[in-house]
A and B are shown apart, each in its own frame.
Chain A
Amino acid sequence: MSPIVFGILAILLVMSGLGVVLARSPIRSAMSLVMTLFFLAVMFLLLDAQLVAALQIIVYAGAIMVLFLFVIMLLNLQEEPAALGRVGLRYGASFIVSLFVLAAAHFLTTGTLQPGNAMADAVAPGFGSTEQIAERLFTQHIFAFELTSFLLLVAVVSAVVLAKKNLQ
C-alpha cells in the first residue's frame, strides 16, 4: 500500500472517528461509526484481506450497527445536553484515553508497527485469500469456531430472557 493512499485513508478514518465522539445527536454518531467501519474495510482491502473486508461490512456495518440504530430509536435518545454527568469523570476519562492514543502514536512512529515494515515482508502468495483463511479456520481453529456457536447461543437466550417481560 502506498503511503499516500494510506495517508488519505487514515485521515478519513480519524475524521469519521472524531465524528462519532463529537456529534451531538446519537443517530449522527452512529452514522459516523458506520463510516468508520466502512473505511476500515477499505483498509483491510488494501492489505489484501478481501474476505475480512467484506465480512467487516456485512457483520459490523450491516448487522451490528442496525441494532445500534434500533436501540437509539427504541430508547428515543435525543441530543444530549452540553454538560451531562460528572465533569471530573469526563476529564479523567479523556485524560486516560489521550494517554493510550499517545502511546499508540509512539509505537507507530518508532516501533516495528510502522505501516511500511509490516506489509513488505508479511505478504506471501495467496495471503488473505478465502481458501487459506477457510482451511486454517476449519482445521487449526476448530475449537474456537465451535465455541463461537455457544457464544451466539448465549446471546440469543439472554436476549429472549431480557425482553421476555415485554413479549407477553
Chain B
Amino acid sequence: MILLIIISLVKALIAVHIVLIFAGVLGWIERKGSALIQDRIGANRASIFGFAGAGLINTMAADPLKFLTKEDIIPDGVDRLLHTLAPCVNLFPVLVAFCAVPFGDVLHLPGGVDVSLQAIPLGVGVLFVLAMASIGVYGVVLGGWASNNRFSLLGGIRGSAQMISYELAMGLSIVVMVMTFGSLDLQEIVRAQGHLIGGWLPGWGILYQPVAFIVFLIAGIAESKRVPFDLPEGESELVSGYFTEYSGIKYLMFFMTDFAEVATIAALITTFFFGGWQVPYLTPDGFVFPGGASLHINHYVIVLMQFGAYLLKVLFWSWFQIMLRWTLPRLRYDQLMWFGWKRMLPVALVNMVITAALILALQGAP
C-alpha cells in the first residue's frame, strides 16, 4: 500500500513536471521562434550571473517570478469567487489530462516490482482525456462571464462555441483510432503500435488512419485556441479575449494553460498516431533490425530511450503547432463555424463509416 502510494506519487510528480516544464520551454520556443522568423533577437535580457541560456531564463524563471510579485487586480462589480475560480478550472483539467498519457512501457524494478509508466492507468483512458477536455470549456466561459467586460464576455462565448464545435470532429477521429486498435486504454493503444508492417515499417497509427490524423490535428489546434483558431483571444479585436481583466499570477495561469494544452494535444497526437513511447525496431530485449542484426541493451537504458523518444515526439508536435502561428492567418468566425460543422464533421463521419466497413471486410466478419 505504502509502496503503491510512493510509486503513484513519483509518477504523478514526473508527469505534472513534464507538462509544466513543457509550458516554460514552449513559451521560449514561441518567443525565440517568432523572433527568428521576424529577424529579431528576442528575449535575451534576463540572466543569472550573466547566464541567459539563450533566453530560457526569461521564460523559465524571470516570467513566473515577475508574474508572482505583481498585483492581482480584481475589477469592481465582478463575481469575485468565479473570477478566481476561472483560471483554476482552466488549468487543472489540462494538467490531469496530460498525466493520463503513458510516457513509457513497464519498468521492472529490482524486487519484482513492475511499474507501468503512466500516472493515471485507466481502462477508459481515452474517455478520461475527453472528459477532461470537455471540462476545460468552463474556464473559458467563467473567465469571460465573471469579468464584467464586453471583450471578455464576447471572447468567452466565442471560445466555448468554438471548443464544443470542434470537440465533435475530435471525438469522431478518436473513435476511429479506438476501432483500429480495439481498446480504450491509452497504454494498450501504444503497445498495439509496436509491430512492424511487412517486416520493416513501424506500425504507427498514422499509416492506418491519415485522414483521422489530419482531422485530429486541426480539431486539436482549434481546441487549444491557437492561431489560426485564436478568435476567442484575438489581440487585434478583443484585447485579450476572455482573460482581458486578469493580471498577475492568474494571467500567467491562462498562459500556462495555453501551452499545456499545446503539449497535451501533442502528447495525444504522439500516442494515437506516432507510436507514443515506441522506438522503431526496439523490442524489450534490445534492437532487432529488419536485416536480422540485433543488439542487446540493458532494460533501464531501454526505458530511458523510450521516455526520451516520447519527449522528442511531443516536443516536435508542440513545435509544429507553435510554428503554424507564423504561417497561417486568423479565420473569420463564420469561416470557423462553416469549417467545423460543414467540413470537419462530415469528413470525420464518413471516415468512421469507411473504416468500419474496411476493417470488417478485411477480417471477414460474420
Contacts and interface: CB of A to CB of B under 8 A. Distances in A.
Please say whether the chains A and B touch (CB closer than 8 A): yes
Interface of A: 25, 27-28, 31, 34, 38, 41, 50-51, 54-55, 57-58, 61-63, 66, 69-70, 73, 129-130
B128 interface: yes
Q: Which one of B85, B124, B137, B160 has the highest number of Cβ atoms from chain A below 10 Å of its Cβ?
A: B124
A66 B122 contact: no
B131 interface: yes
Contact of B137 (A38, A50, A54, A66): A66
B134 A69 contact: no
A50 B122 contact: yes
Given A31-B82, A51-B124, A73-B157, 17 more contacts: A25-B79, A27-B145, A31-B138, A50-B123, A50-B127, A51-B127, A54-B130, A54-B131, A58-B130, A62-B134, A62-B135, A63-B164, A66-B141, A66-B160, A70-B160, A130-B123, A130-B184
B122 A58 contact: no
Contact of A34 (B124, B138, B145, B157): B138
Contacts of A62: 131, 133-135, 137, 167
Contacts of B122: 50
Contacts of B160: 66, 69-70
A57 B130 CA distance: 9
A55 B171 CA distance: 13
A28 B164 contact: no
Nearest to A38: B135
B202 to A, nearest CB: 28
Does more than half of chain B's interface fall in helix, strand or loop, or is it mixed? helix
For chain B, the bracket of interface size reads 20 to 34
B301 interface: no
Contacts of A25: 79
B144 to A, nearest CB: 9
B266 interface: no
Interface string B173-186: 00000000000100
B145 A73 contact: yes
Nearest to B129: A54
Contacts of B135: 38, 57, 61-62
B8 to A, nearest CB: 16
A61 B164 CA distance: 12
